[in-house]
Structure 1
Amino acid sequence: MITMDDIVREGHPVLREKAKEVSLPPSKEDKETLEEMLQYLKNSQDEEIATKYNLRPGVGLAAPQIGLSKRMIAVHFVDFNEKEYSYGLFNPKIVSHSVEGTYLSTGEGCLSVDREVPGYVPRYARITVKATDLEGNELKIRLKGYAAIVFQHEIDHLNGVMFYDHINSEEPFSIPENASVADPE
Protein backbone atom coordinates (compact mmCIF):
# COMPACT_ATOMS: atom_id res chain seq x y z
CA MET A 1 0.00 0.00 0.00
CA ILE A 2 1.33 3.44 -0.95
CA THR A 3 1.40 5.90 1.97
CA MET A 4 2.40 9.54 2.34
CA ASP A 5 5.91 8.30 3.28
CA ASP A 6 6.25 6.90 -0.27
CA ILE A 7 5.56 10.26 -1.90
CA VAL A 8 8.70 12.19 -2.76
CA ARG A 9 8.70 15.91 -2.01
CA GLU A 10 9.78 18.89 -4.09
CA GLY A 11 13.54 19.13 -4.34
CA HIS A 12 13.87 15.39 -5.10
CA PRO A 13 15.70 15.06 -8.46
CA VAL A 14 13.22 12.49 -9.89
CA LEU A 15 10.54 15.21 -9.98
CA ARG A 16 12.64 17.15 -12.52
CA GLU A 17 13.45 14.20 -14.81
CA LYS A 18 11.70 13.33 -18.05
CA ALA A 19 10.18 9.94 -17.20
CA LYS A 20 10.84 6.91 -19.41
CA GLU A 21 8.19 5.22 -21.58
CA VAL A 22 6.73 2.03 -20.15
CA SER A 23 7.19 -0.91 -22.52
CA LEU A 24 3.88 -2.46 -23.50
CA PRO A 25 2.36 -4.76 -22.58
CA PRO A 26 3.39 -3.57 -19.12
CA SER A 27 5.27 -5.87 -16.77
CA LYS A 28 3.36 -7.40 -13.86
CA GLU A 29 5.33 -5.09 -11.55
CA ASP A 30 4.41 -1.91 -13.50
CA LYS A 31 0.77 -2.94 -13.59
CA GLU A 32 0.73 -3.62 -9.83
CA THR A 33 2.43 -0.28 -9.13
CA LEU A 34 -0.14 1.59 -11.23
CA GLU A 35 -3.00 -0.25 -9.50
CA GLU A 36 -1.50 0.75 -6.13
CA MET A 37 -1.25 4.39 -7.25
CA LEU A 38 -4.95 4.38 -8.18
CA GLN A 39 -5.81 2.68 -4.88
CA TYR A 40 -3.88 5.39 -2.98
CA LEU A 41 -6.13 8.05 -4.54
CA LYS A 42 -9.30 6.11 -3.69
CA ASN A 43 -8.06 5.55 -0.11
CA SER A 44 -7.02 9.20 0.26
CA GLN A 45 -10.57 10.31 -0.58
CA ASP A 46 -12.15 7.90 1.92
CA GLU A 47 -12.24 9.87 5.16
CA GLU A 48 -11.96 6.83 7.44
CA ILE A 49 -9.00 5.23 5.59
CA ALA A 50 -7.30 8.62 5.05
CA THR A 51 -7.47 9.39 8.78
CA LYS A 52 -6.32 5.91 9.81
CA TYR A 53 -3.26 5.99 7.51
CA ASN A 54 -2.65 9.76 7.60
CA LEU A 55 -3.15 10.15 3.83
CA ARG A 56 -3.37 13.55 2.20
CA PRO A 57 -6.30 13.57 -0.23
CA GLY A 58 -5.29 13.61 -3.88
CA VAL A 59 -7.02 13.44 -7.26
CA GLY A 60 -3.96 12.46 -9.28
CA LEU A 61 -0.61 10.76 -8.81
CA ALA A 62 2.27 10.32 -11.25
CA ALA A 63 4.94 7.61 -10.93
CA PRO A 64 7.77 10.17 -10.41
CA GLN A 65 5.94 11.24 -7.23
CA ILE A 66 6.67 7.81 -5.75
CA GLY A 67 10.26 7.93 -6.96
CA LEU A 68 9.76 6.03 -10.24
CA SER A 69 10.87 7.68 -13.47
CA LYS A 70 8.19 5.95 -15.56
CA ARG A 71 5.37 7.37 -17.69
CA MET A 72 2.45 6.22 -15.53
CA ILE A 73 -0.33 8.29 -13.96
CA ALA A 74 -3.42 7.55 -11.90
CA VAL A 75 -6.41 9.88 -11.57
CA HIS A 76 -9.54 9.46 -9.47
CA PHE A 77 -12.00 12.32 -9.04
CA VAL A 78 -15.45 13.69 -9.75
CA ASP A 79 -15.58 16.93 -11.75
CA PHE A 80 -17.86 19.93 -11.15
CA ASN A 81 -20.58 18.28 -13.29
CA GLU A 82 -20.56 15.11 -11.15
CA LYS A 83 -18.76 13.09 -13.85
CA GLU A 84 -16.37 10.51 -12.42
CA TYR A 85 -12.89 9.90 -13.80
CA SER A 86 -10.92 6.91 -12.58
CA TYR A 87 -7.94 5.78 -14.64
CA GLY A 88 -4.57 4.14 -14.35
CA LEU A 89 -2.70 5.08 -17.53
CA PHE A 90 0.56 4.03 -19.17
CA ASN A 91 2.40 6.48 -21.46
CA PRO A 92 -0.29 9.19 -21.49
CA LYS A 93 0.33 11.85 -24.10
CA ILE A 94 -1.54 15.04 -24.98
CA VAL A 95 -2.16 14.70 -28.72
CA SER A 96 -4.19 17.88 -29.19
CA HIS A 97 -5.28 20.92 -27.19
CA SER A 98 -7.44 24.00 -27.48
CA VAL A 99 -6.16 27.52 -28.02
CA GLU A 100 -8.39 28.67 -25.14
CA GLY A 101 -6.98 28.41 -21.67
CA THR A 102 -8.41 27.78 -18.23
CA TYR A 103 -7.31 27.87 -14.61
CA LEU A 104 -8.61 27.17 -11.11
CA SER A 105 -9.55 30.23 -9.05
CA THR A 106 -8.01 28.55 -5.97
CA GLY A 107 -4.76 27.65 -7.74
CA GLU A 108 -3.39 24.11 -7.68
CA GLY A 109 -1.84 21.88 -5.04
CA CYS A 110 0.32 18.80 -5.25
CA LEU A 111 0.99 15.79 -3.01
CA SER A 112 4.72 16.41 -3.51
CA VAL A 113 4.48 20.06 -2.40
CA ASP A 114 3.94 20.65 1.32
CA ARG A 115 3.44 24.40 1.03
CA GLU A 116 0.84 26.73 -0.39
CA VAL A 117 1.93 28.19 -3.72
CA PRO A 118 -0.43 31.07 -4.52
CA GLY A 119 -1.24 31.98 -8.10
CA TYR A 120 -3.18 30.97 -11.18
CA VAL A 121 -1.82 28.03 -13.18
CA PRO A 122 -2.62 28.52 -16.87
CA ARG A 123 -3.76 25.31 -18.58
CA TYR A 124 -5.42 24.33 -21.88
CA ALA A 125 -9.22 24.39 -21.59
CA ARG A 126 -9.59 21.22 -23.68
CA ILE A 127 -7.18 18.40 -24.39
CA THR A 128 -7.19 14.97 -26.02
CA VAL A 129 -5.04 12.34 -24.32
CA LYS A 130 -3.91 9.03 -25.81
CA ALA A 131 -2.79 6.32 -23.39
CA THR A 132 -2.98 2.63 -22.54
CA ASP A 133 -5.15 1.62 -19.56
CA LEU A 134 -4.61 -1.09 -16.94
CA GLU A 135 -6.45 -3.64 -19.11
CA GLY A 136 -4.12 -2.94 -22.04
CA ASN A 137 -6.71 -0.96 -24.05
CA GLU A 138 -5.58 1.98 -26.17
CA LEU A 139 -7.65 4.98 -25.09
CA LYS A 140 -8.30 8.39 -26.55
CA ILE A 141 -9.85 10.60 -23.87
CA ARG A 142 -11.30 14.05 -24.59
CA LEU A 143 -11.23 16.29 -21.53
CA LYS A 144 -12.26 19.82 -20.68
CA GLY A 145 -12.23 22.16 -17.70
CA TYR A 146 -11.27 20.64 -14.36
CA ALA A 147 -10.64 17.16 -15.84
CA ALA A 148 -8.27 18.66 -18.43
CA ILE A 149 -6.44 20.51 -15.64
CA VAL A 150 -5.94 17.35 -13.54
CA PHE A 151 -4.58 15.37 -16.49
CA GLN A 152 -2.23 18.20 -17.54
CA HIS A 153 -0.91 18.48 -13.96
CA GLU A 154 -0.10 14.74 -13.85
CA ILE A 155 1.35 14.58 -17.38
CA ASP A 156 3.56 17.58 -16.47
CA HIS A 157 5.10 15.39 -13.72
CA LEU A 158 6.19 12.93 -16.42
CA ASN A 159 8.10 15.76 -18.09
CA GLY A 160 9.79 17.08 -14.95
CA VAL A 161 7.46 20.09 -14.71
CA MET A 162 5.90 21.27 -11.45
CA PHE A 163 2.58 23.18 -11.43
CA TYR A 164 4.18 26.32 -10.02
CA ASP A 165 6.54 26.51 -13.03
CA HIS A 166 3.50 27.81 -14.95
CA ILE A 167 2.61 30.60 -12.48
CA ASN A 168 3.47 34.13 -13.57
CA SER A 169 6.24 35.01 -11.10
CA GLU A 170 5.73 38.77 -11.55
CA GLU A 171 1.95 38.73 -11.11
CA PRO A 172 0.77 35.35 -9.79
CA PHE A 173 -2.89 36.39 -9.84
CA SER A 174 -2.97 37.97 -13.28
CA ILE A 175 -5.63 36.19 -15.32
CA PRO A 176 -3.91 34.07 -17.97
CA GLU A 177 -4.41 35.37 -21.50
CA ASN A 178 -7.39 33.93 -23.42
CA ALA A 179 -8.44 31.91 -20.34
CA SER A 180 -11.57 31.49 -18.26
CA VAL A 181 -11.93 30.07 -14.76
CA ALA A 182 -12.70 26.31 -14.68
CA ASP A 183 -14.37 26.05 -11.29
CA PRO A 184 -17.91 27.23 -10.58
CA GLU A 185 -17.95 30.54 -8.72
Structure 2
Amino acid sequence: MILMEHIVREGHPTLRQRAEEVQFPLSEADRKLGEDLINYVINSQNADICEQYGLRPGIGLAAPQVNASKRMFALHILDEDREPLSIIAINPKIVSHSVEKTYLTAGEGCLSVDRDVEGYVPRYARITIKAFNPEGKEFKKRLKGLAAIAFQHELDHLNGVMFYDHIDKESPFKEIPNATPFERE
Protein backbone atom coordinates (compact mmCIF):
# COMPACT_ATOMS: atom_id res chain seq x y z
CA MET A 1 0.00 0.00 0.00
CA ILE A 2 1.35 3.42 -0.98
CA LEU A 3 1.52 5.81 1.95
CA MET A 4 2.48 9.51 2.01
CA GLU A 5 6.04 8.52 2.99
CA HIS A 6 6.38 6.73 -0.38
CA ILE A 7 5.46 9.82 -2.41
CA VAL A 8 8.51 11.86 -3.41
CA ARG A 9 8.33 15.63 -3.01
CA GLU A 10 9.28 18.52 -5.25
CA GLY A 11 13.03 18.76 -5.65
CA HIS A 12 13.37 14.99 -6.09
CA PRO A 13 15.18 14.30 -9.40
CA THR A 14 12.70 11.64 -10.62
CA LEU A 15 9.98 14.32 -10.80
CA ARG A 16 11.99 16.18 -13.45
CA GLN A 17 12.84 13.20 -15.68
CA ARG A 18 10.98 12.08 -18.76
CA ALA A 19 9.60 8.68 -17.73
CA GLU A 20 10.36 5.54 -19.75
CA GLU A 21 7.79 3.71 -21.90
CA VAL A 22 6.39 0.61 -20.22
CA GLN A 23 6.88 -2.71 -22.03
CA PHE A 24 4.15 -5.31 -22.51
CA PRO A 25 3.34 -7.82 -21.26
CA LEU A 26 3.71 -6.07 -17.91
CA SER A 27 6.24 -7.40 -15.47
CA GLU A 28 4.83 -8.42 -12.10
CA ALA A 29 6.45 -5.28 -10.61
CA ASP A 30 4.78 -2.99 -13.18
CA ARG A 31 1.40 -4.69 -12.67
CA LYS A 32 1.71 -4.19 -8.90
CA LEU A 33 2.77 -0.56 -9.41
CA GLY A 34 -0.39 0.15 -11.42
CA GLU A 35 -2.58 -1.52 -8.80
CA ASP A 36 -0.85 0.40 -6.00
CA LEU A 37 -1.34 3.73 -7.82
CA ILE A 38 -5.08 3.19 -8.37
CA ASN A 39 -5.54 1.86 -4.83
CA TYR A 40 -3.90 4.99 -3.40
CA VAL A 41 -6.27 7.38 -5.19
CA ILE A 42 -9.32 5.26 -4.31
CA ASN A 43 -8.24 4.95 -0.66
CA SER A 44 -7.35 8.63 -0.44
CA GLN A 45 -10.95 9.57 -1.23
CA ASN A 46 -12.22 7.63 1.80
CA ALA A 47 -12.11 9.86 4.91
CA ASP A 48 -11.73 6.93 7.33
CA ILE A 49 -8.79 5.43 5.43
CA CYS A 50 -7.16 8.88 5.09
CA GLU A 51 -7.37 9.39 8.83
CA GLN A 52 -6.18 5.86 9.65
CA TYR A 53 -3.11 6.03 7.37
CA GLY A 54 -2.46 9.79 7.24
CA LEU A 55 -3.15 10.03 3.49
CA ARG A 56 -3.72 13.26 1.58
CA PRO A 57 -6.71 13.06 -0.76
CA GLY A 58 -5.96 12.91 -4.47
CA ILE A 59 -7.64 12.12 -7.77
CA GLY A 60 -4.50 11.07 -9.62
CA LEU A 61 -1.07 9.65 -8.94
CA ALA A 62 1.75 9.10 -11.43
CA ALA A 63 4.52 6.49 -11.19
CA PRO A 64 7.29 9.17 -10.99
CA GLN A 65 5.65 10.42 -7.80
CA VAL A 66 6.58 7.14 -6.13
CA ASN A 67 10.10 7.28 -7.61
CA ALA A 68 9.33 4.95 -10.54
CA SER A 69 10.30 6.60 -13.83
CA LYS A 70 7.64 4.82 -15.89
CA ARG A 71 4.92 6.17 -18.19
CA MET A 72 2.00 5.12 -16.01
CA PHE A 73 -0.55 6.86 -13.82
CA ALA A 74 -3.90 6.26 -12.16
CA LEU A 75 -6.99 8.47 -12.06
CA HIS A 76 -10.09 7.99 -9.95
CA ILE A 77 -12.64 10.73 -10.45
CA LEU A 78 -16.25 11.51 -11.28
CA ASP A 79 -16.45 13.00 -14.77
CA GLU A 80 -18.79 15.74 -15.99
CA ASP A 81 -21.74 13.38 -16.21
CA ARG A 82 -21.10 12.12 -12.66
CA GLU A 83 -19.83 8.88 -14.16
CA PRO A 84 -16.87 7.32 -12.38
CA LEU A 85 -13.62 7.38 -14.33
CA SER A 86 -11.22 4.96 -12.72
CA ILE A 87 -8.25 4.06 -14.92
CA ILE A 88 -4.68 2.91 -14.91
CA ALA A 89 -3.21 4.63 -17.97
CA ILE A 90 -0.02 3.11 -19.37
CA ASN A 91 1.99 4.92 -22.09
CA PRO A 92 -0.78 7.56 -22.31
CA LYS A 93 -0.98 10.19 -25.04
CA ILE A 94 -3.22 13.09 -25.98
CA VAL A 95 -4.16 12.50 -29.62
CA SER A 96 -6.25 15.66 -30.06
CA HIS A 97 -7.38 18.63 -28.01
CA SER A 98 -9.67 21.63 -28.15
CA VAL A 99 -8.50 25.12 -28.96
CA GLU A 100 -10.48 26.24 -25.94
CA LYS A 101 -8.64 26.23 -22.63
CA THR A 102 -9.81 25.84 -19.06
CA TYR A 103 -8.32 26.15 -15.58
CA LEU A 104 -9.31 25.37 -12.02
CA THR A 105 -10.38 28.62 -10.38
CA ALA A 106 -9.03 27.38 -7.03
CA GLY A 107 -5.72 26.35 -8.64
CA GLU A 108 -4.18 22.90 -8.79
CA GLY A 109 -2.57 20.90 -6.04
CA CYS A 110 -0.23 17.94 -6.08
CA LEU A 111 0.60 15.12 -3.68
CA SER A 112 4.30 15.84 -4.37
CA VAL A 113 3.95 19.52 -3.40
CA ASP A 114 3.55 20.28 0.29
CA ARG A 115 2.72 23.95 -0.18
CA ASP A 116 -0.05 26.01 -1.71
CA VAL A 117 0.94 27.38 -5.11
CA GLU A 118 -1.46 30.08 -6.22
CA GLY A 119 -2.26 30.83 -9.82
CA TYR A 120 -4.12 29.60 -12.86
CA VAL A 121 -2.81 26.54 -14.70
CA PRO A 122 -3.99 26.65 -18.33
CA ARG A 123 -5.19 23.28 -19.66
CA TYR A 124 -7.07 22.14 -22.74
CA ALA A 125 -10.82 22.09 -22.05
CA ARG A 126 -11.38 18.86 -24.01
CA ILE A 127 -8.94 16.13 -24.97
CA THR A 128 -9.02 12.79 -26.72
CA ILE A 129 -6.58 10.37 -25.16
CA LYS A 130 -5.14 6.96 -25.93
CA ALA A 131 -3.49 4.68 -23.41
CA PHE A 132 -3.10 1.02 -22.57
CA ASN A 133 -4.67 -0.80 -19.64
CA PRO A 134 -2.64 -3.30 -17.56
CA GLU A 135 -3.70 -6.15 -19.89
CA GLY A 136 -2.09 -4.33 -22.83
CA LYS A 137 -5.40 -3.38 -24.46
CA GLU A 138 -5.41 0.09 -25.99
CA PHE A 139 -8.32 2.37 -25.10
CA LYS A 140 -9.40 5.76 -26.33
CA LYS A 141 -11.52 8.29 -24.40
CA ARG A 142 -12.78 11.82 -24.76
CA LEU A 143 -12.39 13.81 -21.56
CA LYS A 144 -13.54 17.27 -20.51
CA GLY A 145 -13.69 19.35 -17.36
CA LEU A 146 -11.96 18.02 -14.27
CA ALA A 147 -11.15 14.65 -15.87
CA ALA A 148 -9.31 16.42 -18.73
CA ILE A 149 -7.47 18.70 -16.30
CA ALA A 150 -6.41 15.76 -14.09
CA PHE A 151 -5.26 13.70 -17.08
CA GLN A 152 -3.06 16.58 -18.30
CA HIS A 153 -1.67 17.11 -14.78
CA GLU A 154 -0.66 13.44 -14.51
CA LEU A 155 0.69 13.32 -18.09
CA ASP A 156 2.91 16.29 -17.20
CA HIS A 157 4.44 14.18 -14.41
CA LEU A 158 5.51 11.63 -17.03
CA ASN A 159 7.31 14.41 -18.91
CA GLY A 160 9.10 15.89 -15.90
CA VAL A 161 6.77 18.89 -15.70
CA MET A 162 5.20 20.21 -12.50
CA PHE A 163 1.83 22.00 -12.57
CA TYR A 164 3.33 25.28 -11.36
CA ASP A 165 5.62 25.39 -14.41
CA HIS A 166 2.49 26.49 -16.34
CA ILE A 167 1.62 29.39 -14.00
CA ASP A 168 2.56 32.87 -15.24
CA LYS A 169 5.30 33.91 -12.78
CA GLU A 170 4.71 37.64 -13.29
CA SER A 171 0.93 37.50 -13.03
CA PRO A 172 -0.33 34.18 -11.57
CA PHE A 173 -4.01 35.15 -11.89
CA LYS A 174 -3.76 36.72 -15.34
CA GLU A 175 -6.78 35.97 -17.49
CA ILE A 176 -6.12 33.05 -19.83
CA PRO A 177 -7.21 33.83 -23.39
CA ASN A 178 -9.96 31.62 -24.84
CA ALA A 179 -10.46 29.88 -21.49
CA THR A 180 -13.55 28.92 -19.51
CA PRO A 181 -12.90 28.75 -15.77
CA PHE A 182 -13.74 25.43 -14.11
CA GLU A 183 -15.25 25.49 -10.61
CA ARG A 184 -14.67 22.31 -8.67
CA GLU A 185 -17.61 21.21 -6.54
Per-residue CA deviation, residues 52-93 of structure 1 (Å, 9 max, x unaligned), is: 000000000000000010000000011354221100111011
TM-superposed CA distance for 1:117, in Å, is 0.2
- Is 2:178 the counterpart of 1:174? no
Unaligned runs of 5+ in 2: none
Alignment of 1:57-76 (within 5 A): 57-76=57-76
Residues 110-166 of structure 1, C-alpha deviation per residue, up to 9 Å, x if partnerless?
000000000000000111111001232210111111110000000000000000000
Post-superposition shift, 1:182?
1.9
The share of aligned pairs that are identical, in percent, is: 60
Q: What's 1:45 paired with?
A: 45
- Structure-to-structure mapping, 1:16-165, within 5 angstroms: 16-165=16-165
Residues in 2 aligned to 1:101 and 1:171: alpha-carbon distance in whole angstroms: 18
**1:144 partner letter:** K
TM-score normalized with structure 1 length: 0.97
Cα distance in 2 between the residues matched to 1:130 and 1:80: 19
Structure-2 separation of matches of 1:127 and 1:80: 13
Letter in 2 for 1:171: S
Give the conservation status (yes or no) of the 8 Å contact 1:80–1:183.
no
Could you say what secondary structure the match of 1:164 adopts? helix
| Counterpart Cα distance in 1 of 2:5 and 2:80 | 30
The residue matched to 1:157 in structure 2 has which SS? helix
TM-aligned CA deviation for residue 181 of structure 1: 0.8
* Secondary structure at the counterpart of residue 93 of structure 1: strand
Do the aligned residues in 2 keep the contact of 1:76 with 1:86 (CA within 8 Å)?
yes
Segment drifting more, 146-155 vs 129-138? 129-138
Higher mean displacement: 128-137 or 48-57: 128-137
Answer whether contact 1:71 1:92 (CA < 8 A) is retained: yes
- One-letter amino acid matched to 1:174: K
Kindly provide the amino acid, as one letter, of the partner of residue 9 in structure 1.
R
Q: Secondary structure at the match of 1:75?
A: strand
Counterpart Cα distance in 1 of 2:62 and 2:89:
10
Amino acid aligned to 1:40: Y
1:57 corresponds to which letter in structure 2? P
Matched residue count: 185
**How far did 1:184 drift?**
6.0
Contact map agreement 2:104 2:184 (CA 8 A) in 1: no
| Cα distance in structure 1, aligned partners of 2:164 and 2:93 | 21
CA RMSD of aligned residues (A): 1.2
